[in-house]
Amino acid sequence: MVAVNVSDILDPPVDVASLPARDRILTAAYRLFYRDGIRATGIDKVIAGAGVTKVTFYRHFASKDALVVAFLDLRHDRWMEWFRDALARHAAAGRRGRPPVVDAIEEWVTADSFRGCAFINSVTELGGDVPQICDIAARHKADMVAAIRDTLPPGPHRTRSAQALGVAVDGAIVHAQYAGGGASAVKALATIAASLPR
C-alpha cells in the first residue's frame, strides 16, 4: 500500500503569499483554528497570519463566525476526500477481520498534525453560542457514517453497524486526544468493530 501523508492532504503545502486575499485569510484561519483552537485564535492573529488589513478581512468575512463556517466547510471537504480515499485504499488492501474504517482512523490519529476532530472541537468550543456549528458538525458526521456504511457488507445490520462505528470513531478520536496517542484508541475501535453484527 502506498504511504500517505495525511497532513499534506488535510493541510496542503501552499505559498500563502501568492494566494488571493480571501484564500490567504481562510488558509491562515484553517491552520490556526485547527492547531490552536477557535476561541484562542483572535481575528488579529488571523489577519497577521494572512498578511492582510482589517478592512480586507471584513470585506471577505462579515464576522469571525462567518470565517469559522468557511473553515468548517473547507475542513469537511478535505477530510471527507481523504477519508473516502483512505477507506478505499484500506478496503483494497483487505486486512482480514478488520473493517477499513479502523485502518483509516489509525492513519489519521497517528499523524503528527492530529489535533482531534475539528467538528467535535468546534462544537465543544462554540456550539452553545453558534448553533449553526452544531448543524455543520451533524452533517459532517452523517457524511462520515454514510462513507463507513458503503464499506460494510450488505445485510440487515449495515446501517446500524455504520452508525455504531461512527459513534465509536468519535470516541476513538477524543480518546486519542487526551491519551496522547492513537494506539489504544485504535485498538478499542477494532474491538468494537469486531463485535458488531454482520
Instruction: Supply 23's cell numbers.
Output: 484564500
Query: What is the helix (H) or strand (E) element at residue 175, kind and residue range?
Result: helix 158-179
Burial of 193 (0-12, 13-18, 19+ CB in 10 A): buried
Tell me the per-residue pLDDT of 159-184, one tens digit each, with 9 for 90 and over. Answer: 999 999 999 999 999 999 998 778 99
CA atoms of 98 and 104, how far apart (whole Å)? 11
Q: Residues 106, 84: contact at Cβ < 8 Å?
A: no
In CATH terms, the fold of domain 64-198 is: Tetracycline Repressor; domain 2 (1.10.357)
Confidence at residue 93, expressed as pLDDT on a 0 to 100 scale: 81
Domain range list for the chain: 13-61, 64-198
Tell me, yes or no, if the two domains 13-61 and 64-198 fold the same way: no
**For the structural domain made of 13-61, what CATH number should be given?**
1.10.10.60
Nearest to 135 by CA among 30, 78, 82, 65: 65
Tell me the per-residue pLDDT of 76-104, one tens digit each, with 9 for 90 and over. Answer: 999 999 999 999 999 988 766 688 999 99
Confidence at residue 179, expressed as pLDDT on a 0 to 100 scale: 87
Sequential pLDDT tens for the chain (198 residues):
555 788 888 999 988 889 999 999 999 999 999 999 999 999 999 999 999 999 999 999 999 999 999 999 999 999 999 999 999 999 988 766 688 999 999 999 999 889 999 999 999 999 888 889 999 999 999 999 999 999 998 999 999 999 999 999 999 999 999 987 789 999 999 999 999 886
Confidence at residue 63, expressed as pLDDT on a 0 to 100 scale: 96
